[in-house]
Amino acid sequence: MIGNSNTLEWGSSSPLGITMDLLTPKITDITAEGLSLSGDLTGEELGLTDADVTIRGTLAVGLDLRAVERTICVTGVLEGMAIRQCVRCLNDFDDPMAFSVRVAYERETKAAPPAAKRDDSRKKRAAPAVEIEPEEQNDDLYYYVGDHLELAPMLREQLILASPMHPLCAKECLGLCARCGKDLNEGPCHCAAEPTGGPFQVLRSAKKKLGEPADR
């Protein structure tokens, strides 16, 4: 898909035909007035694998791209449903997602690192060694080459960053019994009835297992 943007087919149909360019907008279309893009994308179109995030159906993506001097600022919102695995009970659950992105793109230059080549003639600062960053916020910075942006890798990364480290199906998820592995959300197991804790308990239950084979 290098260079050829005219034969891309999107799984989702768009009456405006705008999703075709949604992930690869042309630099020349991005002006100071801004370019708005929106559409529904599958996880596959974003290059997401099940190891990253599993998306149920499609993600609604709305982006606003704006050229600010030599930087392209991208803001927008992603909304959809992720399928996650609860870290406590190991069940899959639907996790509604809605989050905003705010990143910046700069042209990748081979000769010099992009930050060093910025000619900011209006502001004459005495400390050129200091890293120049956008003033209001620390936007994540991406680079582009050629005549268009590649938004998919950025959106994929933002989706992964927005995903919880320890997803829970519910705050009060009871998880699995550490001893018998039963899902305690479905009801208590037999272990709970027994006196809890201590190394003696482990010994006792081990003996019990030896003596009388469990019936299930």
Residues linked to residue 142 through DSSP beta bridges, in sequence order: 105
Q: How far is CA 107 from CA 46, 110, 112, in A?
A: 21, 10, 11
Q: Does 179 bind Zn ion (CB under 5 A)?
A: yes
DSSP string, 81-93: EEEEE-TTT--EE
Q: What number of chain residues touch Zn ion (CB under 5 A)?
A: 10
DSSP string, 8-57: ---SS--TT--GGGTSS-BGGG--SS-EEEEEEEETTTTT--TTT-EEEE
Q: How far is CA 62 from CA 20, 75, 168, 215, in A?
A: 14, 9, 27, 57
Give whichever of 82 and 101 is closer to Zn ion, judged by the CB atom.
82
Give whichever of 63 and 173 is closer to Zn ion, judged by the CB atom.
173
Residues 89 to 128 in contact with Zn ion, rule: CB under 5 A: 89
Q: Does 173 bind Zn ion (CB under 5 A)?
A: yes
Q: Which stretch binds Zn ion (CB under 5 A): 16-24, 74-82, 138-146, 191-199?
A: 191-199
The one among 180, 202, 203, 206 contacting Zn ion by CB under 5 A: 180
Q: Does 189 bind Zn ion (CB under 5 A)?
A: yes
Q: How far is CA 193 from CA 72, 147, 157, 190, in A?
A: 62, 68, 46, 6
Q: Does 184 bind Zn ion (CB under 5 A)?
A: no
Q: Which stretch binds Zn ion (CB under 5 A): 17-25, 68-76, 81-89, 110-118?
A: 81-89
Q: Which stretch binds Zn ion (CB under 5 A): 47-55, 110-118, 122-130, 166-174?
A: 166-174
Q: Output the smallest distance, CB 211 to Zn ion, in A.
A: 19
Q: Does 169 bind Zn ion (CB under 5 A)?
A: yes
The one among 58, 162, 177, 201 contacting Zn ion by CB under 5 A: 177
d(CA 27, CA 46): 20
* Residue linked to tokens 């801004």: 34
Q: Output the smallest distance, CB 88 to Zn ion, in A.
A: 4
Q: Output the smallest distance, CB 161 to Zn ion, in A.
A: 23
d(CA 120, CA 32): 18
Residues near Zn ion (CB under 5 A): 86, 88-89, 169, 173, 177, 179-180, 189, 191
